[in-house]
Amino acid sequence: MARRVNWGWWWHRLGPALVGVNLGGAAALLLFRQLRWPLALWFALVGAAWLIAAGWAWWRARTNFFAEAEGLLRLETYLRWNNILSAAAAGGLRWPGLPAQPIRSLQWQWGKSAQPVLASLAFLLAALVIPVSAPPKPALPPPTQLPPALQQAQTWTDTLKEENLVEPATMESWAERLEQLKQKPQQEWYGQESLEADESLRNQLAQEIDALGKNLKKAADLLDALQNLPAGASLPADLQAALNAEASALQNSNLPMRQELAQMLNNAQNLSPSQLAYLKNQLQQGANGLNSMPTTMVAPGSLMSAQGLAQYYDPNAQAAYHSAQDDQLRYVRPNARGAGATGTGGGTNGLSFASPTDLRAQKQQGVNSKNLNSMVPGDVVGISISAPPREQADGAAAGAGGGASQGDGGEAVWREELTPQERALLQQYFK
Amino acid sequence: MDSPAASTPPPTGVIDPALTQEAARKLKLLHAAIANVIFGQEELISLAITGLLAGGHILLEGLPGLGKTELVKCFAKALQLDTKRVQFTPDLLPGDITGNPVLQETGGERRFVFQPGPVFTNLLLADEINRASPKTQSALLEAMQERRVTVLGVTHQLPEPFFVLATQNPIELEGTYPLPEAQVDRFLFKLEVSRVATEVLEKIVAHRRLGEDPLLASVMSRDELLQFIALARRVFLPPVVIEYIARLVNASHPGQSAVSQYIKYGASPRAAIGLAAAARARALTQGRGYAGTEDVQAVARPILQHRLILHYQARLEGLTSAEIASRLVAEVPVEAKSLPRTLAAAKIN
């Protein structure tokens, strides 16, 4: 009797303690799973907490524990024996005969005491099975390296300044534009908008440099033709027209030639042989220098070293990282719409797998996620670069213009032959 | 209850059941004899027998004409005890109670000879005790407690057994002096004599004549009573009952229980001793050699009610000390420790 009552008091104290331990354990379990800590440690901690709770419950309940005398009193109160058992136990009476049937004087009230514990165990079980996503990676320090596009643009503008072929005021304006992009906060350097602006500036500058180089080369060739005219011969009209056209092109581009050289070019037919030679030399050197610059436009995305990539953090871009062990990492912008299509050149594609050592996106490549099991809906698995799937010519009859494919309403048509006018112009300039 | 096994020897201190059964039979006869005279007061008679068996003094309180004095006379007749009656009046002197030295001349010599007072008896009926002056009331203090009287430095032992059965009128009239707490505390029981039902009244009218003493045969002798008193003292009191008595008396003090908010001063250890003695006596009247908590609960009210000094708040709410004593018994549980919520007492089929 006393033992059963004591168990009841111990459970009475243990129940609330178990509820607290289980709820705390459930919260801890969620944390452990989120932080990827070992569950064996959690089991050990919860087990220890249960033991402590059991000990604490015993400590709190012990003042209510029944001794043998109190158990006898409880029993004789139930039987209405008016302290017969107590008197017999104290030696004041002979022990009475006990009833033949077992005495059930106490009933367990499991409903009230077990429900909270069972509910807390359900919380514990729920914490074990519900999916938990990994915590967001901590913010990396601001990048120290300029984006590649800006670096390229900076290099190009420095080279142009050294060449001293372009009007200084124009170079200043280009430098200002470059400086505006560099003045953005470092955290935003590798943001999508910033990268797009950088690439737009670089691409624009590359186009202008290409055009300038070509025009300088043409102008130098025309000056060479002018030099080779027989002495006393008049300037042919087409040569004059070509010189005027080139001078105009060089003056009206976004990289206008230096005023002094432009004036000389405009007055080429009146230059002395030495001046003509000087001008031609300047233009030739400038053209050689510009044409040798690596102004190839790179497809969206650029190669970066592992160290460089690890130095920045762009939450908006949702960068997908390869393993940090790889020397080459590739950063792509997943939100850039795939430009890959027939007739429009390269661009991003849907999800695919990438090889970190391949420098060119000429084939389907892919990225892999090392930890797909911990991903929840909404997480980016990976992004890729791939060459656009080029539609092969379907062998249809090539009409005028030599269209390789008819297209399919709205698509650009890829032509493989030149028109006669285009052919004549090219022949004229590239004799 | 099953009878104890006869093959095993009784534990030390166990009273022979034959003695307790014989005592119970005799006491039942006494009860029946007195109930044959005092109609409709069975509980009063039981408690009075219990009080006498416990060796205590009894204070009977009731309106005039309810049979208080008649009850005492019945006890005197049934127990063959020497009885003296003292009518307390305001002019009563202490010497009238205890006795006085009287100057006598014997053989040519004059000396004071002590003349015992009415207190030198077995059963002293102190009628209307609250009419005497406090000085006269205090003359009973030593006699009731010590069972002896000291006059002019000489102590005189009172005979055994010695009981004081006092009566008092609950109506506060002119010329009455409330008993001091010290004297009230020396009464084991305070029994309230209440009016009887109509049916009992019919019986009284049918069997009683005005001024006629009822006939009552002797039931037991003085020596038998002394034996039963000694036997009552041997009745076993289990430790759990002792612990219950202690908790009950302790709960009567302010701040120790819910009902004690109405109590200014609680019961004394003398009350606890009285509870134990009365519980033993009651157990003997039931034929048992041991006392239980039920016995304590049965005698708690008459023992505690005159020992509780109430707050004015209780009087404002119209509560009497008897009601407070009853609430106290109801509030203090028999078991000191309760069951946890996870366990419940099963019902007896």
How sure is the predictor about A342, in pLDDT bands with cuts at 50, 70 and 90? very low
CA–CA gap between residue A171 and residue A175 (Å, rounded): 6
Q: What is the pLDDT of residue B171?
A: 65
Burial category of A136 from C-beta neighbours within 10 Å (exposed 0-12, middle 13-18, buried 19 and up)? exposed
Task: Give dist(CA B60, CA B191) in Å, integer.
Answer: 5
Strands A106-108 and A302-305: unpaired
- Do the beta carbons of residue A164 and residue A258 sit within 8 Å? yes
> Which of A94, A107, A110 has the most B C-beta neighbours within 10 Å, making it the best mutation to test the interface with B?
A94
- Which pLDDT does position B285 carry in this prediction? 95
Size of interface A-B (CB pairs under 8 A): 124
Query: Which of A78, A83, A91 lies nearest to residue B293, judging by beta carbons?
Result: A83
Given a contact cutoff of 8 angstroms between Cβ atoms, the answer to whether B278 and B51 are in contact is yes
Cβ-based contacts of A5 with chain B (< 8 Å)? 339-340, 343
Q: Look at residue B299 in the predicted model and tell me its pLDDT.
A: 96
A115 against A302, higher pLDDT: A115
Q: Which of A42-51, A108-117, B160-169, B301-310 has the lowest mean pLDDT?
A: A108-117
**Whether the bond into B161 is cis, omega within 30 of 0:** yes
- Name the band, by pLDDT with cuts 50, 70 and 90, for residue B293: very high
Residue B309 has pLDDT above 60, yes or no: yes
Question: Which stretch of A139-153, A192-206, A385-399 has the lowest confidence by average pLDDT?
Answer: A385-399
Residue B33 class from Cβ within 10 Å (0-12 exposed, 13-18 middle, 19+ buried)?
buried
Question: Is pLDDT above 80 for A410?
Answer: no
Chain B closest CA to A119's CA: distance in Å? 17
Instruction: Give the CA distances from residue A316 to residues A189, A192, A308, B174, in Å, rounded to whole numbers and listed in that order.
Output: 12, 7, 18, 103
Q: Do B346 and A106 touch (CB under 8 A)?
A: yes
pLDDT at A388: 53
Nearest residue on chain A to B283, alpha-carbon basis: A82
How many CA within 13 A on the CB side of residue A214? Answer: 12
Mean pLDDT (chain A) is: 75
Residue B218 has pLDDT above 80, yes or no: yes
Residues in chain B: 349
Distance from CA of A128 to the nearest CA of B (A): 30
- Cα angle for residues A237, A243, A245 (degrees, 5° grid): 100
At residue B2, the pLDDT reads: 37
User: Residue B133 and residue B151: Cα distance in Å, rounded?
Assistant: 19
| Residue B304 burial (10 A CB sphere; 0-12, 13-18, 19+) | buried
Residue A372 confidence class, pLDDT cut points 50, 70, 90: low
B128 CB neighbour count, 10 Å cutoff = 19
Residue A151 burial class via C-beta count within 10 angstroms: exposed 0-12, middle 13-18, buried 19 and up = middle
Beta-strand relationship, B57-62 and B163-168: parallel
Q: CB neighbours of A367 closer than 8 A, spacing ≥ 6? A: A320, A322, A330, A352, A353, A354, A381, A382, A383, A384
In tens, the pLDDT along B38-73 reads 988 999 999 999 999 999 999 999 888 888 888 988
Q: What is the separation of C-alpha B68 from the centre of its chain, rounded to a whole number of angstroms?
A: 13
pLDDT of A385: 46
Give the list of residues 6+ apart from residue B174 with CB closer than 8 angstroms, or none: none
CA distance A324 to chain B (A): 59
Q: How confident is the model at residue B182 (pLDDT cuts 50, 70, 90)?
A: confident
B336 contacts in chain A (CB < 8 Å):
70
Q: Identify the pLDDT of residue A295.
A: 60
Amino acid at residue number A204: Q
> What beta strand segments (E) does A284-419 contain?
302-305, 328-331, 347-348, 385-386
Q: If you average pLDDT over residues B13-18, what whole number do you get? A: 80
Element (H, E) at A111: helix A110-129
Q: Give residue B241's pLDDT band: very low, low, confident or very high (50, 70, 90).
A: very high
Comparing CB atoms, the residue among A12, A92, A105 nearest residue B290 is A92
Q: What is the spatial distance between Cα A348 and Cα A143, in angstroms, rounded to a whole number? A: 25
Torsion of CA A107, A113, A114, A119, to 10 degrees: 160
Band of residue A390 on the pLDDT scale cut at 50, 70, 90:
low
* pLDDT confidence band for B212 (50 / 70 / 90): confident
Share of chain A above pLDDT 90, in %: 13
Residue A211: Cβ within 10 Å count: 16
Is residue A274 scored above 70 in pLDDT?
yes
Pure H helices in B99-238? 134-146, 181-184, 198-207, 222-234
CB contact (8 A) between residue B4 and residue A94: yes
The better pLDDT of the pair A165, B327 is held by B327
Is A109 or A102 the better-scoring residue by pLDDT? A109
The pLDDT of residue A431 is 57
pLDDT over 80 at B11, yes or no = no
Label residue A48 exposed, middle or buried (CB < 10 Å: 0-12, 13-18, 19+): exposed
Specify the pLDDT at position A263. Answer: 87
Model pLDDT for residues B265-276, shown as the tens digit of each residue:
999 999 999 999
C-alpha closest to that of B237 among B301, B290, B179: B290
Among positive and negative, which fits the CA dihedral A102, A108, A111, A114?
A: negative
For chain B, the residues whose C-beta falls within 8 A of a C-beta of chain A are 1-5, 8, 10-14, 236-241, 289-295, 334-346, 348
Strands of B57-62's sheet in order across: B83-87, B123-127, B163-168, B57-62, B187-193
Confidence of residue B237 (pLDDT cuts 50, 70, 90): very high
Rounded to a whole number of angstroms, the distance from the CA of A117 to the nearest CA of chain B is 13
How far is the alpha carbon of A23 from chain B, nearest alpha carbon, in Å?
22
Residue A396 has pLDDT above 70, yes or no: no
Q: Which of B48, B31, B8, B35 minimizes the C-alpha distance to B299?
A: B48
Q: What is residue B28's predicted lDDT score, i.e. its pLDDT? A: 94
Is the pLDDT reported for residue A370 higher than 90?
no
Distance in angstroms (rounded) separating the CA atoms of residues B301 and B321: 9
pLDDT, greater one: B226 or A381: B226
Best-predicted range by mean pLDDT (A43-47, A232-236, A256-260, B205-209): A43-47
CA distance A75 to A96: 13
Where are the strands (E) in B79-162, listed by range?
83-87, 99-106, 109-116, 123-127, 148-151, 154-157
Q: What pLDDT score was predicted for residue A315?
A: 43
Chain segment B73-114, per-residue pLDDT in tens? 899 899 988 999 999 888 988 889 888 888 888 788 888 888
Which tens digits make up the pLDDT trace of A138-151? Answer: 777 777 888 888 88
B184 pLDDT more than 70: yes
What does the CA dihedral B194, B197, B203, B204 come to, rounded to 10 degrees? 30
d(C-alpha A357, C-alpha A313), whole Å? 22
Residue from the list A15, A89, A93 with its beta carbon closest to the beta carbon of B14: A93
Q: Out of A72-86, A365-379, B246-260, which region has the weakest mean confidence (pLDDT)? A: A365-379
Average pLDDT over residues A32-37: 89
The pLDDT > 70 percentage for chain A reads 70
pLDDT at A319: 42
pLDDT band at residue B169, thresholds of 50, 70 and 90?
Answer: confident
Between B218 and A321, whose confidence is greater? B218
Mean pLDDT of B225-231: 94
End-to-end alpha carbon distance in chain B: 17
**Nearest CA to A367 among A385, A379, A392?**
A385
pLDDT of residue B22: 92
Average pLDDT over residues B142-158: 87
Q: Do A109 and B348 touch (CB under 8 A)?
A: no
Domains of chain B: 15-234 (3.40.50.300), 235-338 (1.10.8.80)
Whole-number pLDDT of residue B7: 45
Average pLDDT over residues A200-227: 90
Which positions in chain A touch B295 (Cβ < 8 Å)?
82
Identify the three-state secondary structure at position A330: strand
Residue A298: is its pLDDT beyond 60? no
Predicted confidence at residue B158, as pLDDT, reads 92
